[in-house]
Structures are given as structure tokens and as C-alpha cells.
Amino acid sequence: MKRALIAALALAALPMLPTVAAAKTFVYCSEGSPEGFDPGLYTAGTTFDASGHPIYSRLLEFKPGTTQPEAGLAESWEISEDGTVYTFKLRKGVKFQTTEFFTPTREFNADDVIFSIGRMVDEKNAWNKYITGGTWEYAEGMGFPKLIKSIDKVDDLTVKFTLNRPEAPFLANIAMPFASILSKEYADSLEKAGTKEQLNQQPVGTGPFTFVAYQQDAIIRYKKNADYWGTAPKIDDLVFAITTDAAVRYQKLKAGECHLMPYPNAADVQAMKADENLQVLEQEGLNIAYLAYNTTQAPFDKPEVRIALNKAINKAAIVDAVFQGMATPATNPIPPTMWSYNNDVKDDTYDLDAAKKMLADAGVKDLSMKVWAMPVSRPYMLNARRAAEIIQDDFAKIGVKVEIVSYEWAEYLSRSKAKDRDGAAILGWTGDNGDPDNFLDTLLGCDAVGGNNRAQWCNQEFDALVKKAKSTSDQEERSKLYEQAQVIFKKDAPWATLDHSLSVVPMRKGVTGFTQSPLGDFTFEAVDIAE
């Protein structure tokens, strides 16, 4: 019996080893299953990589490799002088995908835009609650329901957005995957058939790839969209092989079972670089990890105490221990790849003697404090406990006793925002749209105190600058305002800025045309593979 079984297994093993065979099939070992295929309903990058990017297009698209919005389904746009009316001229002749479940009879027009965005902002829209428990979390987070007053069709190829107030980041916001454009004609046909929820399972868009099939937690298949309005993809088929474990993804990449993988283990990166069959791309991620003091609690209400503590943190040690070098120490609250990054701001130097003296001058003696360490690994902070231990060690050297505390993730998120939180919390942020407002106002504005502003820091001067930048359309002018805001931030030091992690993308040799996105998206419309 035993022999028979071994023989059977050996036989089975012979004809396999399915190296990535078919000439133009590109296999991406993705890190998780998409939650669904209607990107408006979700917030996870994994879902956007599988739905928003391959299947759909948006009015504006981010220029590959940048955070700069450029023409997408809208060929051009005009902004009224007061910054509240955005008029988009739509591209002519764009076709929706033809699939096994839907054949479009008309081309893309203004109705599709009104349908796609309208359902997110209008509670009375018939598609607002088409899925039990479905919510428009991203649109909500970006303030769309309160921001957008109306969306009007001027003619078939012109659509007008009227806002309740000027909002400069609006263009970047509608380039985000949640604002993807769906087919109204398809939605109408589903409504007629009484199968509205199919919109989230069998997607139809105008993007570079057409959805073919999804086997839950296993595989997503797409084929090239021959009618794509942009440059046609070079590959014929795109496959997402869902592989949740990073070590296993690496094995699959090595074995040639996939062409490209996201999120490698930091510890594997050196070996990947040494492997002659692989190539590794690296880029600073659009993120920040920080230690937020509670600036309303003594003695952390004094900037000099916060700066003294910042001087005692050995960021280089954190980058080495937690990221094996796959990160850079952070100076400003925004990453260096973002426009308006202020290069003139200098980081507090690691200087224990100076730190000790500053504390003594501020009259702080025998300080003991809590440092909160997140229980989960995030791209901006792989191991918060390890980072907290390094901080604990550093602070001990200047006579500050640290107790490390942690909670379950949801608890952590909710307790860390409390105004009377005891201690400094490690947390971070990954940018949504590449706009500095998405870091500076979202995380440090006065409105965010008790919420995203974990330092509970409300500096009127800083707040006035970022609020002014938000309502200014001219990017150069905005950039200047944000640069000033960064100077104030550093002087007042509500956070110890810890690191910006590198985003590392390993792929097979022979893969060309893949551009790393600073937003962390994985898009494959331009990739090619050597025969």
C-alpha cells in the first residue's frame, strides 16, 4: 500500500512543474483576496489592485510612477475661479468591456459618471444601499457627501461637479481607485434582472483588462481589453494567484510560478537581490511612522520636553533592527517623494547629552512614561514592539523610564485617539492620493484632535497654513504654504518622526514595463515578459 502510494505521488509529480508557460500570461502572486469588485465599497489596496486598477478607469489617472493626476476618462477640465465648480470634458469613443455576462450597446458618457459618483454621495440614490451592510467608506473618509453639492450633465460628454467649498485636493481624490467609473447601462440591466449585487461580483469597466473569473481565495483571471482607450496592454492574460504568506510568495517567485510579488519579508530581500533570476525594485513608500506624544498632558505639553526626547531616539537603530535597512529615518511628517517636502528642515540630531540637559533645563526629573506599541505589522512599521524596546532603551539612557503597552488592534486604534491618553503612541499612515493635505491636515489639523490627530496637537499657526493651502488651487502657492507648515511642525515637535519604509518589489528577470507607484498600487497595463 505504502509503496503504491509513493509510486502514485512520484508519477503525479513527473509531468507538472508548471513554470509560467503560456507566452503572454502574466502571473502576479497577490497578497490577499479582494473583498469585492466594486471599488467604491472598499478601502483596501488589495481590493483596488484587483478591481479598480485592472478593470476600471477614472476621470483622472495618476501619471505612472508619480502622484500627479493627468487626463483619464476626462480629456480636460476647468475649475471656476472660486474653486467650487469643476467641469470635465469626457473622452469620446470609450467602450465598456464586453464580457460573457454583458454586451454594451453604447459608449461611455456623462450618465456613467453621475451614476458612479452619485450613488456614493446621495443616500436616496437607488444604488446607495444595493448591498446589505455595504458602505462607501472611502468617499465618506474623503468627505464627499458633504463636499459635493451636485453632479450635473451638461451634455453627453460634459459633466459638472459643484462643491460646497473650494477643495484643492479634489482632483487627486477623483483619481483614486474608489472613484472608478462603472457602466450605468450594465447597472440598469442588473436592476431589471433583480440581481443588483452582481455589480460587486461580475465587474464591467473601461480599464485595460477584462474580468474573466474569480475563484474565491485562489485565482482571479483577466484578459486583455482589446477596446481599451489607452495604450493596449502587451500581455494577453493577467492572473492573480492569491498567496497570503510572504515566505510562500517568495518560493513561488523563485520556482517561476509567478512573475512578480508584493510585500516581501524584509529578511528575504538580500537573498532576492543576490538571485540571478530575480530583479528587485525599491522606492520610498508614501508613508510615515511616528511616535505621537499627547501634547495636552504634562510634561509633554512643553515643546522642549518633546524635542529633548526626540533627540534621544536612535532612528538609525530602529531602521536597522525593524527593517533590516529597508527604510529611511524620517524628518518631516510627509515622505520625501511628495511634492512640497521641505528639504531645509533638519532632523533633531541623536545626542543623549543634549537631551539630558534639555530635560533638566525644562525642570523634568525622574520622568516615567508609557510608550504604546501597535500589535500588528504595517508597511510603515513592521514591528512596533521592537521599535518601542529600542526607544525604551534610549530613553533609559537619559533617565526616562518607559513602560511599553499594547492592545488588540481595534482597541489600540480607538484608545490611542482618546484626548486624555496616557503616554506616547507609535502609529503611522500610508498616503491615499499623494496630496500633502492627506498627511498634514488629516493627521495634524485642529479638526482631527480626538481623532486622527493622535498628538492632540492644535497649533493655530500650522492649522491656518494647511487650511489656506486646502482652498488654494495654485500648486506652487500651496507648496510654499506646506513648506512653512513643516517648519512649524518641527519646531513644535508633536511627534517623533520615525521612518518612511521602502516599498520593495521583487520580480523575475525578463519582466519589463512595470513602474512602481508611490501610492503602493500594483498596475500591469504596461508590463511585458520576455519570450
Partner 1 sequence: MFGFLLRRLAVLIPTFIGVSIIAFSFIRLLPGDPVALLSGERVMSPERHAQISAQLGMDRPMVVQYFDYLGNVLTGDFGTSIVSKKPVLDQFLTLFPATVELSFCAIIIAVALGIPAGIIAAVKRGSIFDQGLMGIALVGYSMPIFWWGLLLIILFSGILQWFPVTGRISLMFYFPQVTGFMLIDSLISGQKGAFASALSHLALPSIVLSTIPLAVIARQTRSAMLEVLSEDYVRTARAKGLSPFRVIGIHALRNAMIPVVTTVGLQVGVMLAGAILTETIFSWPGIGKWILDSVFRRDYAVIQGGLLLIAAIIMTVNLIVDLLYGLVNPRIRH
* Chain positions contacting partner 1, by CB under 8 A: 1-2, 5, 8-9, 11-18, 20-22, 25, 27, 32-33, 35-36, 41, 43, 131-135, 137, 140-141, 197, 200-201, 213, 215-219, 221, 239, 241-245, 247-248, 251-252, 254-255, 257, 407-411, 413-414, 417, 427-430, 448, 451-452
For partner 1, the closer CB: 363 or 451? 451
**282: CB partners within 8 A, 6+ apart:** 326, 502, 503, 504, 505
| Rounded CA separation 295/387 (Å) | 21
Farthest CA pair distance, the chain: 83
- SS3 (DSSP) at 447: helix
Taking each helix axis as running N to C, give the angle between helix 475-492 and helix 460-470, from 0 to 180 degrees, rounded to the nearest 10.
160
For partner 1, the closer CB: 17 or 232? 17
Q: Exposure pattern of 7-19 as b/e (b: 16+ CB <10 Å)?
A: eeeeeeeeeeeee
For partner 1, the closer CB: 30 or 67? 30
Tallying the residues shown for the chain, one arrives at: 531
Q: How far is the CB of 352 from partner 1 (least distance, A)?
A: 32
Q: How far is the CB of 84 from partner 1 (least distance, A)?
A: 24
| Rounded CA separation 214/33 (Å) | 10
For partner 1, the closer CB: 241 or 281? 241
Q: How far is the CB of 16 from partner 1 (least distance, A)?
A: 4
Q: How far is the CB of 473 from partner 1 (least distance, A)?
A: 25
Q: How far is the CB of 194 from partner 1 (least distance, A)?
A: 16
For partner 1, the closer CB: 99 or 452? 452
| Rounded CA separation 503/484 (Å) | 28
Cell of 280: 528587485
Phi-psi map region of 344: left, alpha, beta (phi>0 left; psi -120 to 50 alpha): alpha
- In this structure, is the dihedral angle defined by the CA atoms of residues 463, 466, 470 and 474, taken in order, positive or negative? positive
Q: How far is the CB of 240 from partner 1 (least distance, A)?
A: 10
Tell which residue, 88, 87, 81, has the closest CA to residue 166. 81
Tell which residue, 465, 461, 460, has the closest CA to residue 482. 465
Q: How far is the CB of 13 from partner 1 (least distance, A)?
A: 5
For partner 1, the closer CB: 91 or 470? 470
For partner 1, the closer CB: 157 or 338? 338
For partner 1, the closer CB: 296 or 479? 296
For partner 1, the closer CB: 430 or 501? 430
Write out the H or E segment, with its range, that includes residue 85. strand 85-90
Q: How far is the CB of 426 from partner 1 (least distance, A)?
A: 12
Q: How far is the CB of 56 from partner 1 (least distance, A)?
A: 18
Tell which residue, 358, 387, 393, 356, has the closest CA to residue 374. 387
Tell which residue, 307, 247, 300, 237, has the closest CA to residue 271. 247
| Rounded CA separation 68/62 (Å) | 5
